[in-house]
Structures are given as C-alpha cells and as structure tokens.
Amino acid sequence: MATAEPLQSAAEQAPALDLTERTDLVPIFIMGKKYDVPSTLTIQKALEYAGYQLIRGCGCRGGICGACATVYRMPGSPKIHVGLACQTLVQPNMYLTMVPFFPANRAVYNIEEMKPDTHALLKVYPELTKCMGCNTCTKSCPMELDVMEYISAALRGDLERTAELSMSCVMCGICASRCPAELGQYHIAILCRRLTARHLRPKAAHVAEMVERVESGRYEEPLRQLMTADLDTLRKLYVEREMEPHTADEMWQPQETRFL
C-alpha cells in the first residue's frame, strides 16, 4: 500500500495558505494536499489549523477513544506509519490521511449463554481461522499491542490471555483495515474480555453479599438517621469517622461495627 501521490506533484499544488503569524511552520500533506502548519502541533490540531472543523475523527482528544486513526508516509520511504491524530506530532513533509471508520464484522451474541471457548468463538467469528500470521496487525497498532498474539491466543482457546493482551485496545480499527484475512481483531478482543470477566474469573462473593444486605433493608435505619441529622451532628460524624489506613491490608476491620 502506498500513499496516493508522489512527492513532486503534490509539492506543486496550490500555494500554501497565508498563515504568516506563526514562524515555525512546516509543510504537511493532508490527503495529498499541502498545508503549512506549526511544527509543535499534533496532527489533530494541525488539521484544525489548516481550516478543518473536525466532525469525524475526533472524540476524546486524549488518546483513548480511538476516533482518530491516521496513516501516513514519509517521503522517500514506502513504509506506512500509523498513529492517533491526537497523540502524534506533525513531521515535515508527511503524507497523511485519517481513517476514522473502517467497516469490520461484528457478531451479535448473548454473553450470558455463550461458552468461553474456541468453539463458541469460531461460531460467531469463523474468520478467526483465516489468520495467516503475517503480523501486519501488530506492526500497525498505535497502542503497540501484540495483536497477532492476542488473535492466536483466542484461536488456541486462551481467552484470558487475549483479554489481558488487549486491555488497552482503543478500538481504532487500524489493524482491521490492514488485515489480509479480513478480521475485526478488536471486536474479537472485546468478546474475549467479556467472556473472561463473565465466565472465567471467579465471582466477587463480597459484592453479591453486599447486594443481599442492601436488599434486606439493613441500612435503611442508619441512613435515615444520617438524613435527618442536623448539620452539626453530621459534621461531627464525618470528622470522627474511622479511617482505614492507607497501608492496611485487605481484611482490615474497623472498631465500630454497628453500621456495617
């Protein structure tokens, strides 16, 4: 995959916009068209500087929502780089385009009833077996995840490993856009995470117990007391409440147990 145009033709395009108030301008090529932008900006802010009002390709502006997947190429090299537009600085003469959306297959499933194994996974995502181990996904992940490894773990039935390896996936879709086997890696990953958390990891018994306690009405009276207390009483109770020390271990217990 190469970018659309060779350097020369694009460089000859319409003169750059007149943006003389900043002195540190560098040329970049947005979808092949040249703009001069301040060198300290991220790609996202450079697009805005160039005059775009972003609608697509902009969500959190903080590197976590995956809205701003961007691919780019530097002159003189065929290599396709990837990055999140909100996290990547512009570089002089880069050729870039955003890929704010890429259609990937997402199955519909019932997490309650689904079994956490390869068989069940393959039923909803049969394309998993088509992975040819080319590693393009790993090479193109802006979060530097080992995508191929989490895919093969899923194929092996090691869903927990897939879950762990994919935890910081921002679902930007770049891996899917470049996968020759046409997998939607991030959809497979979230399914593995949900199956792991739902079925493979032991339940938190203390949560279920607390829900029962709440439902038994045990806290109604203590809370009523707090709600009807005058401000001074409430302040006093607040200031005097017993603090669990920072260094206390998990099973620490307070002196006062009447309101537990």
Partner 1 sequence: MGYTAELLELIKRVEKTRPERVARKKAGQEFTALTLEQRADRLKKYHPDYREGGLRELKIGPSKGYALAREIADLFEARSRVDPDKIDLNEVHYETDVLVIGGGGAGTAAALMAQEQGARVIIATKLRHGDANTMMAEGGIQAATKGWKDSPYYHYLDVMGGGHFENDPELVRTMVLEAPKVIAWLERLGCMLNKWPDGKLFTLHGAGTCRKRMHYAGDLTGAEIMRTLRDEARNRIKDIGVLEFSPAVELLLDDKGRCSGAVLYNLETEEYFLVKAKAVVMATGGCGRLHIQNFMTTNHYGATGDGLVMGYRLGVGVRFLHATQYHPTGAVFPEQAEGLLITEKVRGAGANLVNIDGEQFVFEREPRDIESASIIRECTTVGKGIPVPGQPGKFGVWLDSPMIDLLEGEGTVEREFPAKFILFKRYEIDISKMPMLVYPTLHYQNGGLAYKPDGSTAVPGFFVAGEVGGGVHGANRLMGNSLLDITVFGRLAGETAGRYVKDRADVGALSVEHVRKYHKELEEAGIETDRVSPMILPDYANPLVRKRQWTTTYVGTIR
**Interacting residues with ligand SF4 (CB under 6 A):** 131-137, 141, 143, 145, 147-148, 151, 169-175, 179-181, 183, 185-186
163 binds, among ligand SF4, ligand FES, partner 1, none (CB under 5 to 8 A by kind): partner 1
Among 50, 68, 96, 191, binds ligand FES (CB under 6 A): 68
Handedness of CA 53, 55, 57, 63 (dihedral sign): positive
Q: Least Å distance between CB 254 and ligand SF4?
A: 43
User: If you ran DSSP here, which 8-state letter would residue 150 be given?
Assistant: H
Q: Minimum distance from CB of 43 to ligand SF4 (Å)? A: 16
Cβ neighbours of residue 245 closer than 8 Å, sequence gap 6 or more: 252
The residue range among 80-88, 98-106, 123-131, 221-229 that interacts with ligand FES, by the rule CB under 6 A, is 80-88
Query: Is residue 121 a contact point for ligand FES (CB under 6 A)?
Result: no
If binding is defined by CB under 6 A, does position 86 make contact with ligand FES?
yes
Would you count residue 60 as binding partner 1 (CB under 8 A)?
yes
Residues numbered 150 to 209 that lie near ligand FES (CB under 6 A) are 170
Contact in structure between 202 and 196 (CB atoms under 8 Å): no
- 259 near partner 1, judged by CB under 8 A: yes
Handedness of CA 124, 127, 132, 136 (dihedral sign): negative
Q: How many CB atoms lie within 10 A of CB 155?
A: 17
- Cα 189 to Cα 185: distance, rounded to the nearest angstrom: 6
Whole-angstrom Cα distance, residue 124 to residue 116? 12
Measure the CA–CA gap between 72 and 97, rounded to whole angstroms: 6
Least distance in angstroms from the C-beta of 57 to ligand FES: 7
Among 28, 30, 46, 58, binds ligand FES (CB under 6 A): 58
Nearest approach, Cβ of residue 72 and partner 1 (Å)? 16
- Contact 92/28 with Cβ under 8 angstroms? yes
Residues 239 and 36: their CA atoms lie apart, in Å, by 58
Contact range with partner 1 by CB under 8 A, out of 71-79, 132-140, 175-183, 190-198: 190-198
Whole-number Å distance between alpha carbons of 248 and 70: 46
Choice from 16, 65, 74, 120 touching partner 1 (CB under 8 A): 65
Name which of 5 and 127 has its Cβ closer to ligand SF4: 127
Smallest gap from Cβ 203 to partner 1, in A, equals 5
Token pair recorded at residue 155: 């194929």
60 makes contact with ligand FES (CB under 6 A): yes
The answer to whether residue 209 forms part of the interface with partner 1 (CB under 8 A) is yes
**Does residue 142 contact residue 84 with C-beta atoms inside 8 Å?**
yes
Residue 248: enclosing H or E segment and its boundaries? none
**What is the binding site for ligand FES (CB under 6 A)?**
58-61, 63-68, 84-86, 170
